[in-house]
Amino acid sequence: MKTEKTIAAIEEEIVDEFSLFDSWDDKYEYIIDLGKKLPPLEEEHKKDENRVRGCQSTVWLVADYKDGKVHFRADSDSVIVKGLISMLIRVLSGHAPDEIINAKLEFIHRIGMTTHLAQTRSNGLLAMVKQMKNYALAFKVKNSLSI
């Protein structure tokens, strides 16, 4: 189970995997492949309230809370964004709210994908990270109030 690994450990794994690639083409080929493999979100979830809107591409994000862990599912109309999402889900999904809130997500910079978080891209990835942390925070608050 991935929950046995810490977020930092999974981030480290991804950085190791990317160290095998020496060209941008190879990196993106891998990300595109991840995007294609990420199971599509059911159409019923692709509604406005689940939409994280970027300037160019759209992301849909759904979060569930079970046994103290947050589970994410997501989709995008851009396969590259989907690949990046796939990595974020691998890193964050199945962890406790506090771990998610405090996740540094440095792997994004370390694998050279910083541009996707830059303002210029405004492709929804940054909004997506914020939204994932917001969900974690919401579940944490809900939990502490025992609602």
Partner 1 sequence: MIKPAEVSGSLDVYAIREQFPILNREVKGYPLVYFDNAATTQKPKEVIDALVSYYTTYNANIHRGIHTLAEEATAAYEATRNTVQQFINAASREEIIFTRGTTESINLVAYTWGRQNIQEGDEIIISGMEHHSNIVPWQIVCEEKKAVLKVVPVNDEGELLMDAFDKLLSSRTKLVSVMYVSNAMGTVNPVRDIIQKAHKAGALVLVDGAQAMAHLEVDVQELDCDFLAFSAHKLYGPTGVGVLYGKKHLLQDMPVFQGGGEMIKEVTFEKTTYNDLPYKYEAGTPNIADTIAFKAAIEFVTRIGRKNMHRHEQGLVEYATRKLETIPGLRIIGRAKEKISVISFVIDKAHPQDLGILLDNRGIAVRTGHHCCEPLMNRFGIPGTTRASFAVYNTMEEVDALITGLQKAIKLLS
- Which residues make up the interface to partner 1 (CB under 8 A)? 24-25, 28-29, 32, 55-58, 77-81, 123
Distance CA 59, CA 123 (A): 9
Catalytic residue among 9, 55, 118, 141: 55
CB 32, min distance to partner 1, A: 6
* Residue nearer to partner 1 on the CB measure, 7 or 34: 34
Task: Give yes or no for a contact between 110 and 15, defined as CB atoms under 8 angstroms apart.
Answer: yes
- Our answer to whether residue 71 is catalytic in this structure is no
Side chain identity at residue 51, one-letter code = R
Task: Give yes or no for a contact between 72 and 89, defined as CB atoms under 8 angstroms apart.
Answer: yes
CB 113, min distance to partner 1, A: 10
C-alpha distance from residue 94 to each of 43, 72, 110, 136 (Å): 23, 8, 23, 11
CB 87, min distance to partner 1, A: 15
* Residue nearer to partner 1 on the CB measure, 2 or 47: 47
Order of all β-strands in the sheet with 51-53: 51-53, 58-66, 69-76
* Residue nearer to partner 1 on the CB measure, 76 or 93: 76
Active-site residues: which are they? 55
